[in-house]
Every structure is written in C-alpha cells, then in structure tokens.
Structure 1
Amino acid sequence: MRQRVVRVAVTAVLVALVLLAIPLALAIRSSLYADQRDTLERAALAAAVRVNPDYRTGDPAELPSPGAGERLGLYDPELALRAGGGPRGGDAAVRRALRGVIARDRTGGELVVAVPVSHAEEVIGVVRVSSAVSAVRDRVLLGWAALLGAAVLALTVAVLVARRQARVLAAPLEDLSRHSRAVTEGDLTARAAPSTIAEIDQVARTHNDMLHSLSELLRHERDFTANASHQLRTPLTGLQLTLEAGLAQDDDRLRPVLEEALAATRRLHHTVEEVLRLAGSPGPPHRTVPDRPVARLLEETEERWHGLFAQDGRRLDCAVQDAPAGVRVPGGPVAEILGVLLDNARTHGHGSVRVAVRDLDDALAFDVADEGTLRTGPARLFARGHTGAGTGGTGIGLALARDLAVSLGGRLFLAGGDPTTFTLLVPVRQEEPAGQSGPPLG
C-alpha cells in the first residue's frame, strides 16, 4: 500500500508539473524575447531623438553608445549606413521603417528594431538597433534550468511528503493485518488499536466487534461440547457396565442379545469419541488414533452391516483389491466414515452395495458403490442440513464423514452418480517390523 500511495502522489505531482511547466517555459521564452525587443526599441527611440536633421548635408550625427552586445546605426533614405554599426546597406527592417513605422525583425541570427527619424513630417532616416539571438537564447536556457530545478525540488518534496503520508496510512492497516494473522493462528484476544484515521478506525472497530462475537460463539460451542462430552460419556459408560454385568450372569438366552447390545454401545461410544475429537473437545489429552489393518477393518465392517442389508434383501460385498496385507489405517475414524456411507447407501441407495479398497502407493482409496442413481450436485450433497432422500444423499452424516476424512489428512468425494459411488482417500503407512518406527507415509 505504501508504494501505491507514493506512486499515486508522484503521478499527480508529475501531471501537475507537466501541465504547469510547459506553458510556463513557453511564457519565459516569449517574455525574454519580448523584453529584449523592448530594450532595443527604447535604445532606438533614444537615438532617434538625438539625430541632427542636417546630418545629410555633412553635419556629424551624434548617436548614443550602444548597450552591451548591441549594434546601433543610422541609415539615410537611400539605405546607406551614415553612422554607427550595422550592415552597410539597409535591410528589410530599415526599408519598412522608412515608411514611417517601427519595424521589428529577426534576421541573420539577430533581433532587429528599426525606428524612423522624422523632421517636418518627413522621414529623413532610420535608426537601427540589433543584438545577437544567442544572448537571449542563453537567458531562456537559464530560465528553463531554474524552472527544471524548481520542478525537481517540488517532486522531491512531494515524494518525501507522500512517503510520510503512506506510513501514516499504512501503519494502522499493517497493525490490523498483524492482529488478523494472530487471530488466524488462534489468538482470539488480539484486538486492533485505534488510529488517527476515521475510516480505518471504523474498520478496526468492526473487526474487533466481529472478533468478540466469534469469541462468544466459540465459547458457547466449547461449553456445549464440554457438556455433551460429560452428559454422553457418563451414561454410555454406565450402560456398558450394566451390560457387562448382565453378561456375567450365566443366562444363555440373554447372552446373544446382551453381546449385540454391548457391541452397539461400544460403537456408539466410539462414535461419540470421534465426534468430540473432531469438535476439539476439552478434557483429557487426546490420544493418538490407533491404526488397524485394512483387511481386519473390512471384516468388522462386513460383520456389522451384513445382517442389516440382508434384512432388506440386499447384498453387501467387501473386498481388498490390491492393497498389501500390512497396510494400516486409523481404525475408528475410517470405520465411522464407512458406516456413514453404508447407512447412506442402505437408506437412499438401491441394489447390491460393494466396498472395495484400492492401493494408491501412499494412500488407500475406499470405494462405496450401490446400484442407485444420484441426481444431487456434490456441493449440495455435503451441505449440512440437506437431505437427499430418493437421490442418494443425506445431510449431516455426509458432512460429518467429510470432516472426519479431512481430520485424517484425507478426502471424501462423490466419484460417480450412475451408479452412485463415494470414494474415501486415506493416507496410510506400512506395518513395520518390531523395534522399528518411523513417520506415517504421505
């Protein structure tokens, strides 16, 4: 911004200088030439009044001394030089002056003024005064040099003033930018300081008000997350303990039901943990999400969802196409994303559902496809609150799955609409021998 302010100011000054300097330079030139002609005319008039009318009969003609760089001469009506200096024969200016008018001319590198000498209403001679054009040209060049110096001085002052004003204007904006970067890095206590510029102060106040509103909104969301964390974890833990206590009772009739309920409760507990992790829930330090082999993950997914699809008379196939057996993925989040996609396929899809895993070197691609047709746009499909019943898409589930994928450094997207196919990309790492460790690939 500083450079832009300086450029604007300098451009404005340059335009003003050009618009003023060119007419002023022409005025200086015209004025100096006119002044020199006026000086020559005054000298010629002063000499004309001193000319003796009897100079033609032999009396000496008394002429004043010419000025520096000037030549002064007296010519008779026959254009002959009778006294002083000048060309031996009268020129065009002398001939015009013999007609009783003051003549001005520029010839032979000289400025010439010729004044008629009259006696008894008769022109008896002409006084001619001349000076070199180069002398006037030198004065014009000096005037132009002074004008250029003044323009350079004005431009220098303009640049200095513009730079100072640019600093004054840019400083509060740069301060606002620093505070915005601090907010981006997580410091919600940063506030923009007031300045002396009303418009920038208005922007700063709006920024601070917006930041205050965002801080309050985030505080409410943190409080809600903390409350949800407590209110959900405690009953789920109690329910798990109750089911485990029921399993301790040796009742073969209730054991399958209790085991299924306990498995569902554990899945619900894992789902709550993933949602709270994604929301940045306060509380105990976050533990690293454990990795699981992709083959084992698909087996668990098929065990969980096979019966549900079978109840609807539909088929579920899970297959690892070319991924090595040692490839591991974050178990909980990937299982939750696959659960959302399979639930979406069961609710809104048609026909058989296939889950396939493809190896992409540093990532795995999980493809979940059914035999339905999707007509909803991808942007609307992942929008929270949108439900796509009958079109293959749903709202908050897909949005949550997408956020979970991003939290893993992966991506969830719609790969095809006919048939409906969702693809989940997940960075992976190879299972390493015991005693070796290294960072995840990708």
Structure 2
Amino acid sequence: MRQRVVRVAITAVLVALILLAIPLALAVRSTLYADQRDTLERAALAAAVRVNPDYATGDPVELPPPGAGERLGLYDPKLILRTGTGPRTGDAAVSQALGAVVARDQTAGQLVVAVPVSHNEQVIGVVRASSAVSVVRDRVLLGWAALLGAAVLALTVAVLVARRQARALAAPLEALSRHSRAVTEGDLTARAEPSAIAEIDQVARAHNDMLHSLSELLRHERDFTANASHQLRTPLTGLQLTLEAGLAQDDTRLRPALEEALAATRRLHHTVEEVLRLAGSPGLPHRVTPDRPVAQLLEETDERWHGLFAQDGRRLDCGSQDAPADVRVPGGPVAEILGVLLDNARMHGHGSVRVTVRDLDDALAFDVTDEGGLRTEPGRLFARGHTGGGGTGIGLALARDLAVSLGGRLFLASGDPTTFTLFVPVRQDEGAVSAR
C-alpha cells in the first residue's frame, strides 16, 4: 500500500507540473524575447530624438552608446548607413520603418527593431537597433533551468510528503493485518489499536466489536457444552452405581435387563466424555490412546446394534476382511462414529447393513454399507443441521468432527449403494493411533 500511495502522489504531482511547466516555459520564452525587443525599441527611440534634421547635409549625428551586445545605426531614406553600426544597406525592417511605423523583425540570427525619424510629418531617416538572438536564447535557457530546478524541488518535496503520508496510512492497516493474523492463529483476546485516521479507526472498532461478539458466542457455546457434559456425568455415575448395586442382588430375572441398561449407561458416559473432549479442541487432531482391539470393537458393535436391526426385519453383518484382529484403536471415538453411521443407515437406508474393516498398512478403513441409495446432495451430507428427514442433522457432522480429532477422515465413498468410509490412522509397531 505504501508504494501505491507514493505512486499516486508522484503521478498527481507530475501531471500538475507538466500542465503548469509547459505553458510557463513558453510564457518565459515569449516574455524574454518581448523584453529584449522592448529594450531595443527604447534604445532606437532614444537615438531617434538625437537625430538632427540637417544630418543629410553633413551635420554630424551623435547616437547614444548601445547596450551590451546591441548595435545602433542611422539610415537615410535611400537605405544607406550614415552613422553607427549595422549592415551597410538597410534590411527589410528599415524599409518597413520608412513607412512611418515601428518595425520588428528577426533575421540572420538577429533581433531587429527599426524606428522612423520624422520631421515636418515626413520620414527623414530610420534608426535601427539590433542584438544577437543567442543572448536572449541563453537567458531563456537560464529561465528554463530555474523552472526545472523548481519542478525537481517540488517533486522531491512531494515524494517526501507522500512517503510520510503513506506511512501514516499504512501503519494502522498493517497493525490491523497483524491483529487479524493473531486472531486467525487462535488469539481471540487480540484487539486492534486506535490510530489517527478516523476511517481506519471505524473499521478497527467494528472489527473489535465483531471479535468480542464472536468470542462471547464461542465462550457461551463451550461453557454450555462443558456444563451440560458435567451435569450429565453426575446423574450417569449415580445411575451406573445403582445398576451395579442391582446386579449385586443376584436377581436372575432382572439381571439381563440390568446388564443391558448398565452397558447403555456406560456407552452414554463415554459419549459425554467424547463430546466434552471434542468441545475442548474443536477441529484439532490430537493423540488418543488406542485401547480396544478391532475384533472386540466389531463384536461390541454387533451386540449393540444387531437387535435393533432385527426388530426392523433387517440384517447386520460385522466382519474384518484382512485387518489384524489384535490391532488396537481408540474404542470410544470409533464406536461413537460407527454408532452414528449405523443409526443413519437404520433411519435412512434399506436392506442389509455391512460393517467391514480393511487394512491399509498405516490406517484402517471402516466401511458401513447398506442397500439403499443416496437421497440427498453429497455436498450437504456433513452440513450441521441438514437432514434428509426424521433427524436433527447433527450426527454426521459430529462423526466427521470426531474423525478429524483422531487425525482420521470420514467421507461418502459411494452413493449407490450408500457407503461411508472411516479412515483411522494406526501405528502397529506401537499399537497406537497418532494425530497426523
């Protein structure tokens, strides 16, 4: 921006100098030539008043001494030089002056002024004054040099002023840019400082107000998530303890229901923990401890969802193609993502549902496939709040965020049949999942 401001200022000054300097230079030239002709005319008039009408009969004539670089001469009506200096025969200016007019001419590198000498209303002679054109030309060049110097000085001052103004204009904008970069890097406490420019201050105040509102909105959302998760954990823990106490009574009739309720409570507890973890670092991958073998995760998934699909008259198959059964993955987050995908297949899909795991060396691919076709735009599948009907539009968006938090990726692999694929990076040498 600084260079742009300087260029604009210099361009404006150059245009102004050109528009002013060219006419002024022409005016200087015209004025100096006119002044020199006026000087010659005054010298010729001063000499003409000294001419005695009897000079033609031999009476001597004394012309005043000419100025530096000037010549004065008296010519009779026959164009013959009688006294002074000049060409021996009068030129065109002398001939013109014999007509009782002051003649001005420029010829042979000379400025010439001829003034008639009158007596009894008759022209009895002509006084001719002349000077070299080079004398005036030198003065014109000196005037132009002075004009050029003034233009250079004006341009220099303009450049200095423009650079100073450019710094004054660019400094607050550069500070605002640094502030914006700090906000982009996650510092929501940064605020733009005021400057001496009202328009930029207005932008800075609007930016600060927007950032304050955004910070408050994010704080309220995070506080709500943390508060909700915290408040849910307490009753869930109490419910879990109650169910465990019920199991300790060894009531064979209630034991299956209590065990199922206890398992659901534990899953809900893990869900709350995952939501709380995700709210603490949204969109940021980080290291999560792998705690569950793939085979166990598939078995638990089948136990949890097999009955629900069976109630709808549908089949669920969970299996591993070539993935080692002992490879561990983060059980909680991966189970939550698979739960979202299976619930989505149950609500919106058709026919049998298959969950398969493929080994990709440095990652595992979990494929969830049903026999239905995609009924919504692929680009809006993971948009929060968008639903194909019968849901809240949060599940797929939450599953994608969970996948990113693991350093993995969740995407739609096929629209017919509908297939979602979850990539989970693994390091088999350490048996851990690491964030990329």
> TM-score surpassing 0.5?
yes
Displacement after TM superposition at 1:358 (Å): 5.1
Q: 2:61·2:83 contact (CA, 8 Å) conserved in 1?
A: yes
The match for 1:404 is 402
**C-alpha distance in 1, partners of 2:20/2:360?**
71
- Alpha-carbon displacement from aligned partner over 1:49-102 (angstroms, at most 9, x marks no partner): 222333333333322222112222223333333322223333322222222222
* Counterpart pick for 2:428 among 428, 431, 436: 431
Give 2:411's aligned residue.
Answer: 413
The match for 2:172 is: 172
Alignment of 1:2-401 (within 5 A): 2-280=2-280, 288-290=288-290, 292-294=292-294, 296-318=296-318, 320=320, 329-357=329-357, 362-389=362-389, 395-401=393-399
Would the aligned equivalents of 1:345 and 1:370 in 2 still touch at CA under 8 Å? yes
Contact 1:367–1:423 (CA under 8 A) maintained in structure 2: yes
Aligned residues of 1:369 and 1:421 also touching (Cα < 8 A): yes
Q: Distance in 2 between matches of 1:42 and 1:360?
A: 108
Q: Is the 8 A contact 1:289 1:332 kept in 2?
A: no
1:212-267 deviation digits (Å, cap 9, x = unpaired): 33343334334323321221111222222223333334344433333322222222
SS in 1 for 2:117: strand
The alpha carbon displacement at 1:323 in A equals 5.5
How far is 1:120 from its partner?
2.5
Q: Secondary structure at the match of 1:68?
A: coil
Which structure 2 segments of 5+ residues have no match? none
Residues 328, 430 of structure 1: 8 Å contact kept: no
* Count of aligned pairs between the two proteins: 432
> 1:386, 1:396 within 8 Å by CA — same for their partners in 2?
yes
Q: What letter corresponds to residue 156 of structure 1 in structure 2?
A: T
Change (3 A) 1:410 1:21: farther
Shift of 1:360: 5.6
Deviation digits for residues 347-404 of structure 1 (CA, Å, limit 9, x no counterpart): 01222334445566655544433333334334433332222128xx861111212222
Instruction: For 1:416 and 1:230, locate their aligned partners in 2 and report how far apart those are by CA, in whole Å.
Output: 38
Match of 1:339, as an amino acid? G
What residue ranges of structure 1 are gaps of 5+ in the alignment?
A: none
From the superposition, tell whether residues 311 and 136 of structure 1 become closer, same or farther in structure 2 (CA, over 3 Å): same
Normalised by the size of structure 2, how large is the TM-score? 0.86
Aligned partner letter, 1:257: A
| C-alpha distance after superposition, 1:179-233 (max 9, x if no partner) | 4444444444443343333333333333333333334333433432332122111
Identity %: 86
Distance in 2, Cα, partners of 1:196 & 1:120: 82
Following the alignment from structure 1 to structure 2, what is the Cα–Cα distance between the partners of residues 170 and 84?
Answer: 72
CA gap of 1:433–1:419, structure 2 versus 1, over 3 A, is closer
RMSD of aligned Cα (Å): 3.1
Alignment CA distance shift 1:129-1:187 (3 Å): same
Change (3 A) 1:347 1:99: same
- Higher relative contact order, structure no. (Cα contacts within 8 Å, ≥ 6 residues apart): 2
Residue range with higher mean Cα deviation, 28-37 or 120-129: 120-129
- In the TM superposition, what whole-angstrom CA distance separates every residue of 1:322-344 from its partner, at most 9, and x where no partner exists? 66667654432232222212211
The farther-off stretch of 269-278 and 94-103 is 94-103
